């Protein structure tokens, strides 16, 4: 089934190397998580490293890197819409009962027309 078994075995060793990298990153993530850094800093670092892990799994173990354009488009569109959904969810953090914060200024409240 495989035309060049030597090349194929080499590719499989690449897969194992990717999995080992993911495991090492897990170790780093757990270490950062229990180190007790400032919460915002911890969140940014951990989620960035988790994104790298996800990228490695999707690109190499799921073979997305060498996949057909159609499949890459399906995944690309889906990830775009999910990212937009999550970004909007994060944006609601700026929403308060008084209004929406877009800068450090307090929100505009009540009737904003000139008297």
Partner 1 sequence: MDIPYTIQSRPDTGVYNGKLGMWLFLASEIMLFGGLFSAYIFLRTGVPDWPRGADLLNVPIASVNTVILVMSGVTMVMAWASLKLGSLGQSRVYLLLTMLLGLAFLGLKSYEYYEKFSNDLYPATSNFYGIYFALTGLHYLHVLGGVVVIAYHLVFGGILWRKTPEQFVNRIEVTGLYWHFVDLVWLILFPSLYLV
Site for partner 1 in 52-81 (CB under 8 A): 53-54, 57-58, 61-62, 67-71, 74-75, 77-79, 81
- For position 28 contacting partner 1 by CB under 8 A, the verdict is no
Which range binds partner 1 by CB under 8 A, 18-26, 97-105, 106-114? 18-26
Contacts of 57 (CB under 8 A, 6+ apart): 18, 22
Query: Binding string to partner 1 for residues 79 to 108, with x set by CB under 8 A, is what?
Result: x-xx--xx--xx-xx---------------
Contact pick of 10, 33, 65, 106 for partner 1 (by CB under 8 A): 33
Compute the distance between CA of residue 96 and CA of residue 85 in angstroms, rounded to an integer. Answer: 19
- For position 5 contacting partner 1 by CB under 8 A, the verdict is yes
> Do 49 and 32 form a contact (C-beta atoms < 8 A)?
yes
- For position 4 contacting partner 1 by CB under 8 A, the verdict is no
Contact pick of 4, 38, 39, 105 for partner 1 (by CB under 8 A): 39
- Residue 66 structure tokens: 């060498």
Contacts of 99 (CB under 8 A, 6+ apart): 107, 108, 109
Nearest to residue 30, comparing CAs of 46, 51, 44? 46
């Amino acid at each position: 089934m495989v035309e060049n078994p030597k090349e194929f075995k080499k590719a499989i060793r690449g897969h194992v190397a990717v999995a080992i990298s993911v495991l090492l990153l897990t170790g780093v993530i757990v270490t950062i998580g229990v180190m007790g850094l400032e919460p915002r800093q911890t969140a940014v670092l951990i989620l960035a490293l988790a994104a790298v892990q996800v990228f490695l799994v999707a690109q190499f173990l799921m073979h997305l890197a060498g996949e057909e354009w159609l499949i890459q488009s399906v995944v690309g569109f889906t990830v775009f819409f999910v990212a937009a959904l999550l970004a909007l969810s994060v944006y609601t953090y700026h929403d308060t009962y008084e209004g929406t914060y877009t800068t450090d200024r307090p929100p505009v409240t009540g009737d904003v027309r000139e008297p």
